[in-house]
Amino acid sequence: MSLNVFAVGASRNIGYHSALRLLAKGATVTFLLRSPGVFDADTLIQEHIKSGKVRLVQGDALNASNVRAAWAEASKDSPVDVLLYTVGAVGGSFHPLKGVVIDPPNLVTQALTTVLCSMPKSTTTPPPKVIVVTASGVSRSSRKKTPLLLMPLYGYMISGPLQDKLGTERIAGHCAGWEWNPADGEPAAEVLNGDWKATEGLPAPGSLEDTVVLRPALLTDGECLADAAAEQGKALPYRCGPGEVGGYTVSRKDCAHFIVEGILQEWETWGGKQLSIAY
């Protein structure tokens, strides 16, 4: 798998584990990192840096100049094949009426917008495949298919971060040319303002048709059960498919397994769809 991958939000968690899998298959991965030092003691990443398979670019995904520099580095030898976008809000504060509040409230949405608007434009080379990780319960229609016991979590405790993820899906779906479900409403104004479609540089509707949006269930730091199952000749331990499969949890490592061993290996099956994954 000699893919050229641009990874945003991959210093840890799903993006990081996906990158390790891709590197093991021979891919080249360019990381956009606010602090490249995060990998100083990472022996696995350091080995790939020495081999030239890993490139580290310091910058902020909210800064257009930084993102353009990262795109340039990622595509200096060949066009980017895959944009892996796994940015997630970290921390936040608790508000008794709003639940978890993140600052800014549209961090993930705005970062994706910046990344897509900064994407190199070419008349001869097709745009990269785009994989965007959001979350189960992100929309009204998806929450109806999640476990009943999680309703207070999705509807109140993390409703703010989910609005940000909804904005991310709105942007990704628009550029992919997907029809938006009116029943889901529009993201809150603090996430996407009314004229967001006029954002300079935003890819035209349908221009990024090779897009996948993946909604994981609640994420854990558990091991990759899929690898263990494969060693034992067993079926995949997670459920995945279009729409909302419903479920309580899934590990970050199993999400990475599905991204690399499932989505990218079987793009004809999974490409161009909104998917979900859960145990």
Q: Tell me which of 155-164, 222-231, 264-273 is least confident.
A: 155-164
Local structure of residue 77 (DSSP, 8 states): S
Q: Give the pLDDT mean for 74-89.
A: 95
In three-state secondary structure terms, 154 is helix
d(CA 62, CA 108): 9
Closest by alpha carbon to 240, among 273, 209, 208? Answer: 273
Report the pLDDT value the prediction gives residue 95, as an integer from 0 to 100: 78
Measured between alpha carbons, how far is 82 from 75 in angstroms, rounded to an integer?
Answer: 11
Which residues neighbour 250 within 8 Å (Cβ) at sequence distance 6 or greater? Answer: 216, 217, 218, 219, 220, 238, 277, 278, 279
Q: What backbone phi and psi angles, to 5 degrees, belong to 219?
A: -90, 140
Q: Residue 205's pLDDT band (boundaries 50, 70, 90)? A: very high
pLDDT above 90 (res 15): yes
**238 contacts 250 by C-beta, under 8 angstroms:** yes
| Residue 157, SS3 per DSSP | helix
Q: Please write the tens of the pLDDT for every residue from 189-198.
A: 999 998 999 9
- Counted residue by residue, the chain has a size of 279
